[in-house]
Structure 1
């Protein structure tokens, strides 16, 4: 079975994976979820957080070849980490996540999307160094198919997101290209437009693109189905058990 490391998206934390962790473990996998710097239980000050800080935290959390799942903005730090140390990775899995384009920051990529639905749900801090999710728009944008209890739980745990990592341009090198990749596309996503997810995953092998009929948060609304797909990814021929 596989070793999984789960990396959350903006303003979230390891807490967002509580159902998926259980589902994957029930299938026999080893699963860990990471709080990126400044999120969840990690108290790194926002002023000290960069994209490479995220990537280094991911690498520090890995114990041998690992399938790394990145949700939403985590597509950037997992890609950067794979570019720095590709032999640590069995596979990258982008869960409705940004796949970096050459010399683009995440902010620049978001602006290339045909729509910007997420903008109504975020508010910048006074100093511009972070942003937060507006509670009144959270369900509509992130959790429209989730249970009320899970939405309430999320709202209690959301935290500010540093802006610097998302404003940092990335160019991935040949090391990144050696890592196997999958994309899980969420077809009812109100945060990252589904058509833009299609665009970002268009150069993935067809068998490596999976579609879920969910919102931006399938770890809450469809954890068993998500775990099933990750289990199949772990068994795919393109995901070697060792390097």
Structure 2
């Protein structure tokens, strides 16, 4: 038997879960802060991951600062142009491998983070106790997020650069309606100031399809966000139904939260209790 090189490598498994939380596009680990707090209050470990090029490695062009140079900002290519979905998956797989030494891992993704957690489920199903989609993309019959968007008339064109610091009240109202309609203006602005202007343009079109022989072996859960305008409820239900047809012996466990796209920011206590109940089933 090989010898461990350090005490950390020989860490004991205590059987309790660790929640690994994966953000979506233009986001970072901060979006999970309220949920990490509530999980901790319930006695759980949780790691909110910054995907490559996000969080402490985020890019904020000078043209994005104040005063803004909107022409220069619009003309700038994304600094994440070379980043791929495979890079995101490898990054999360590494975190899952390190945490699986302590016990089961529950992998949670929101929005475009669904593509990443699907890739992790395809790659290392044996390390996962559950895969949870929090109003997240789960590509089953179609290969990419862009393909699903095209079915509802969206061009599926990536938005690698977004000016979240706009002062245009009409744009802000549209963003709030689409992402956080039930939030107060103060809650919306607090969240808005955590998001990032740059994203990898190819993530939307990358192949993120689930595989029945790998992903399909892992228990999976879908948290339907009933007020979501970014991934409307009909789209969420479509992906759930497709997955259930693919793995009829292992269907989605489904829970509904009365919230919009960024529900984990506004309803962390409710979502934490749902996640805790998953570990008791």
TM-score (norm 1): 0.85
RMSD: 2.3
CA deviation string 1:120-172 (max 9, x = no partner): xx984xxxxx1426552321111111233332222222112212122112344
Give, in angstroms, the shift of residue 66 of structure 1.
0.7
Equivalents in 1 of 2:252, 2:158: separation in Å? 38
1:235 aligns with 2:273: no
Judging by fraction of residues, say which structure has more strand: 1
Give, in angstroms, the shift of residue 90 of structure 1.
0.9
1:142-153 equivalent positions in 2, closer than 5 A: 142-153=179-190
Q: Residue 186 of structure 1 contacts residue 214 of structure 1 at CA under 8 Å; is this kept in 2?
A: yes
1:74 aligns with 2:74: no
Structure 1 runs of 4+ aligned residues shifted over 3 Å read 170-173, 203-207
CA deviation string 1:18-71 (max 9, x = no partner): 110010111111011001111121248403310000101111112103101000
Looking at CA atoms only, which structure, 1 or 2, has the larger radius of gyration? 2
Q: Structure 1 pair 103/213, CA: closer, same or farther in 2 (3 Å)?
A: closer
1:30 aligns with 2:35: no
Q: Residue 86 of structure 1 contacts residue 179 of structure 1 at CA under 8 Å; is this kept in 2?
A: yes
Equivalents in 2 of 1:26, 1:93: separation in Å? 20
Q: Structure 1 pair 194/48, CA: closer, same or farther in 2 (3 Å)?
A: same
The answer for unaligned runs of 5 or more in structure 1 is 125-129, 237-243
Equivalents in 2 of 1:76, 1:133: separation in Å? 24
The answer for unaligned runs of 5 or more in structure 2 is 1-15, 60-78, 167-171, 245-249
1:191 aligns with 2:206: no
